[in-house]
């Protein structure tokens, strides 16, 4: 099968399209013919080798985490799907490879594609949808009447999280650039901070939840807008001990996670709030819930641009500039 893969870690100079073996199908797996995939910051970080100590992928490595496509074969123990089903999924962390013609995935990570979306739109959803769901619903337990700050509202996670938080009944604040202020308001943001003209930490206070997608100074400043008992959930900050435990990390990674997150956890504790690092997990049940919200018109996909598979490298470079409004999609068809 054709696939986009890397033979070494690096930035824009690595990656090529070539022939790779079609994956095997285990008893609990479904083999999916991929119609579309989408790009996430995670893909860029994996390409650069940022996670090679935590996720030691063997090389050559097919990149890609999101997909929408059609089931072409099922394993002997599969009960939910059959050949011909249109599905979408986020590949499991140790079985990525959606920038390809086919992928084999455990059925527990797969869900039927939202009926109201085409393949390109559906491929834009899984990783950002699961991230927002697991942060706001599972971890934060966000409720109607609460206040949440979602950083980078025009990005892939931000565009989905704003809509999900509004569906849950929360008051939503977000940060974005000048050109996107009106647009994120249309997505549902109640309070929009133009980071080019104002500092969010000077404007916001007494928030229940912050979803951080930036890390660095943004992460530290986010502590100041939370009220006592608030929750700071980051997908870009330092991994914490619970993350190391969840992935069954070795002792070195456990120690590193403890030390790297010690400062932000101490600051959070002193302020009477909590800090946690979220590394989203593949989950078909969550995707089924998300599909219902989409088909009931509560959430809509946001696709910035669609690239043909032959231009995967260009698509990655474009996404890496960080200027996309929503998701960048790769069409295999």
Inter-axis angle of helices 41-48 and 312-320, nearest 10: 100
| CATH number of this structure's domain 128-277 | 3.40.50.720
Return the pLDDT at 247: 85
Return the pLDDT at 230: 98
Helix segments in 61-199, DSSP class H:
119-123, 126-132, 156-167, 181-187
How many residues would you count in the chain? 333
Flag residues of the chain having pLDDT under 70. Answer: none
Residue ranges of the domains in the chain?
2-125+301-331, 128-277
Q: Could you report the per-residue pLDDT of 50-97, keeping only the tens digit for each?
A: 888 888 899 999 999 999 999 999 999 999 999 999 999 999 999 999
Q: How far is CA 226 from CA 4, 129, 170, 273, 317, in A?
A: 42, 24, 15, 7, 35
What is the distance between the alpha carbons of residues 32 and 45, in angstroms, rounded to a whole number?
25
Contact present, 288 and 118 (Cβ < 8 Å) = no
Q: Whole-prediction pTM value?
A: 0.96
Contact present, 59 and 7 (Cβ < 8 Å) = yes
Minimal CA–CA distance to 29: which of 107, 137, 98, 103?
107
Q: Could you report the per-residue pLDDT of 115-146, keeping only the tens digit for each?
A: 999 999 999 999 999 999 999 999 999 999 99
Contact present, 42 and 48 (Cβ < 8 Å) = no
For the segment(s) 2-125+301-331, the CATH number from 3.40.640.10, 3.30.930.10, 3.90.650.10, 3.90.180.10 is: 3.90.180.10
Residue 12 corresponds to which tokens in the numbers above?
């824009």
């Amino acid at each position: 099968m054709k696939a986009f893969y890397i033979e070494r870690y690096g930035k824009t100079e690595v990656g090529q399209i070539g022939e790779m073996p079609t994956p095997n199908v285990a008893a609990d797996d479904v083999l999916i013919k991929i119609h579309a995939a989408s790009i996430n910051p995670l893909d860029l970080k994996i390409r650069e080798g940022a996670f090679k100590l935590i996720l030691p992928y063997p090389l050559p490595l097919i990149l890609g985490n999101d997909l929408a496509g059609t089931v072409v074969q099922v394993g002997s123990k599969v009960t939910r799907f059959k050949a011909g089903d249109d599905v979408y999924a986020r590949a499991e962390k140790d079985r990525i490879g959606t920038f390809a013609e086919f992928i084999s995935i455990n059925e527990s990570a797969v869900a039927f594609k939202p009926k109201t979306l085409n393949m390109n739109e559906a491929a834009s959803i899984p990783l950002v949808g699961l991230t927002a769901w697991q942060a706001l619903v599972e971890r934060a337990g966000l409720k109607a009447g609460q206040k949440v700050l979602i950083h980078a509202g025009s990005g892939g996670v931000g565009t989905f999280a704003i809509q999900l938080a509004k569906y849950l009944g929360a008051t939503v604040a977000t940060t974005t650039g000048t050109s996107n202020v009106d647009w994120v308001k249309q997505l549902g943001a109640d309070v929009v901070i133009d980071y080019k003209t104002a500092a969010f930490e000077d404007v916001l206070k007494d928030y229940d939840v912050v979803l951080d997608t930036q890390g660095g100074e943004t992460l530290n400043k986010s502590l100041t807008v939370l009220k006592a008992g608030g929750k700071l959930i980051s997908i870009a900050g330092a991994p914490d001990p619970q993350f190391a435990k969840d992935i069954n990390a070795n002792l070195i990674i456990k120690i590193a996670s403890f030390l790297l997150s010690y400062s932000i956890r101490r600051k959070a504790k002193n302020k009477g709030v909590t800090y946690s690092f979220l590394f989203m997990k593949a989950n078909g049940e969550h995707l089924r819930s998300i599909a219902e919200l989409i088909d009931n018109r509560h959430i809509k996909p946001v696709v910035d641009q669609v690239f043909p598979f032959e231009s995967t490298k260009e698509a990655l470079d474009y996404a890496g500039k960080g200027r996309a409004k929503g998701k960048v999609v790769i069409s295999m068809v």
